[in-house]
Amino acid sequence: MTGADGSPPPSAKEWRLDLYLSERDPATTARIVLDTGDHVLESCAEAHRNPDDTAVPGIGDELAAGRALISLGRQLLRAAAGDLSTAGVPEDTPPAPLWAPRE
């Protein structure tokens, strides 16, 4: 079945993403597991509080989770680039990096 303009009908997919946080002061670790139904990707990242800084609940969680999500996003982009290459699609200019290596 196609739409009025000849396009395929819309479809919906559900991907499961689990985010696990663990804290062992002054470090917080985030682990993300993404299950697409076809593939499972995993990413880990950490945040470290300077021992001289005041402990503020949540900041380590946000930093570690954000870093793990960025890493997972990069994995997804690399997977898509590989799939495009396999399909013979010409390579575009790569996107700008999301952050500098030392961030």
Higher pLDDT, 92 or 37: 37
- Residue 68 CB neighbours (<10 A): 23
Residues near 31 by Cβ (< 8 Å), separated by ≥ 6? 19, 20, 22, 42, 43, 44, 68
Distance between the two ends of the chain, CA-based, in angstroms?
49
Could you tell me the two tokens for 32? Answer: 């993300």
Number of CB atoms found within 10 A of residue 14's CB? 7
pLDDT of residue 98: 65
Q: For the residues 39-66, what does the mean pLDDT come to?
A: 93
Mean pLDDT of 62-79: 95
What mean pLDDT do residues 59-63 have? 95
